[in-house]
Amino acid sequence: TATASAQAMREALIVVSNRLPFVLKPNEEGQLVRKLSAGGLVTAVAPVVARCNGLWVGWPGIFLEPGQEEPTIPESEDTHATSFANLLSNQIVPVFMEKVQFDQFYNGCCNGTFWPLFHSMPDRAIFFADHWKAYLEMNQLFAMKAIEAVERLMQKEKDILPLVWVHDYHLTLAAAIIRKLATEKGIRIKLGFFLHIPFPPWDIFRLLPWANQVLEGLLGCDMVGFHIEDYCLNFLDCCQRQFDYKVDKKMFMVDHDDRRISVRPLPIGIPFDKFAQMAEEAPRVVKESRQKIILGVDRLDYTKGLVHRLRAYEHLLTKHSKYIEQVIFLQIAVPSRTDVKEYQDLKEEMDQLVGKINGQFSTANWSPIRYIYGSISQAELAAFYRDAAVCVVTPLRDGMNLVAKEFVACQIEEPGVLILSPFAGAGEMMHEALIVNPYEVDSAAETIHRALSMSLDERQVRMTHLRKREKMNDVNAWTVGFLKAMDSSMLGETVPV
User: Which residues are identified as catalytic?
Assistant: 196, 398
**Whether the Cβ atoms of residue 305 and residue 339 lie closer than 8 Å to each other:** no
**Whether the Cβ atoms of residue 417 and residue 455 lie closer than 8 Å to each other:** no
Beta strands in 362-469 (DSSP E): 369-373, 390-393, 417-420, 434-435
Q: Count of residues for the chain? A: 497
| CB-nearer residue toward ligand G6P: 19 or 462 | 19
Question: Least separation, in Å, of the C-beta of 452 and ligand G6P?
Answer: 30
State CA 243 to chain mean position distance: 29
Q: Tell which residue, 117, 99, 103, 13, has the closest CA to residue 57.
A: 13
Q: Tell which residue, 188, 263, 174, 176, has the closest CA to residue 225.
A: 263
336 lies in the site for ligand G6P, by CB under 6 A = yes
Question: Least separation, in Å, of the C-beta of 374 and ligand G6P?
Answer: 15
3-state helix, strand, coil in the chain (%, to 5): 45, 20, 35
Q: Tell which residue, 203, 231, 238, has the closest CA to residue 217.
A: 238
**Whether the Cβ atoms of residue 4 and residue 161 lie closer than 8 Å to each other:** no
Question: Least separation, in Å, of the C-beta of 427 and ligand G6P?
Answer: 16
337 lies in the site for ligand G6P, by CB under 6 A = yes
Q: Tell which residue, 269, 271, 166, has the closest CA to residue 219.
A: 166
Question: Least separation, in Å, of the C-beta of 254 and ligand G6P?
Answer: 23
Q: Which residues of 438-472 are buried (b: 16+ CB within 10 A; e: fewer)?
A: beebeebbbbbbebbebeeeebeebbeebbebbbe
Residue number of the CB closest to ligand G6P reads: 196
| CB-nearer residue toward ligand G6P: 18 or 86 | 18
**Whether the Cβ atoms of residue 146 and residue 153 lie closer than 8 Å to each other:** no
User: How far apart, in whole angstroms, are the C-alpha atoms of residue 226 and residue 383?
Assistant: 31
**Whether the Cβ atoms of residue 411 and residue 134 lie closer than 8 Å to each other:** no
Question: Least separation, in Å, of the C-beta of 438 and ligand G6P?
Answer: 18
Count of residues touching ligand G6P (by CB under 6 A):
6
| CB-nearer residue toward ligand G6P: 106 or 313 | 106
Per DSSP, 69 falls in state: P
168 lies in the site for ligand G6P, by CB under 6 A = yes
User: How far apart, in whole angstroms, are the C-alpha atoms of residue 178 and residue 144?
Assistant: 7
| CB-nearer residue toward ligand G6P: 115 or 205 | 115
Query: What amino acid is encoded at 368 in this protein?
Result: P
| CB-nearer residue toward ligand G6P: 37 or 240 | 37
User: How far apart, in whole angstroms, are the C-alpha atoms of residue 204 and residue 362?
Assistant: 43
309 lies in the site for ligand G6P, by CB under 6 A = no
197 lies in the site for ligand G6P, by CB under 6 A = yes
| CB-nearer residue toward ligand G6P: 22 or 361 | 22
User: How far apart, in whole angstroms, are the C-alpha atoms of residue 240 and residue 336?
Assistant: 35
329: which strand partners? 294, 369
| CB-nearer residue toward ligand G6P: 87 or 293 | 87
24 lies in the site for ligand G6P, by CB under 6 A = no
315 lies in the site for ligand G6P, by CB under 6 A = no
397 lies in the site for ligand G6P, by CB under 6 A = no
Of 179, 196, 304, 311, the one binding ligand G6P by CB under 6 A: 196
| CB-nearer residue toward ligand G6P: 19 or 131 | 19
19 lies in the site for ligand G6P, by CB under 6 A = yes
**Residue 434: helix, strand or coil by DSSP?**
strand
Site for ligand G6P in 268-287 (CB under 6 A): none
User: How far apart, in whole angstroms, are the C-alpha atoms of residue 382 and residue 258?
Assistant: 49
Instruction: Please report, as ranges, the residues that interact with ligand G6P according to CB under 6 A.
Output: 19, 168, 196-197, 336-337
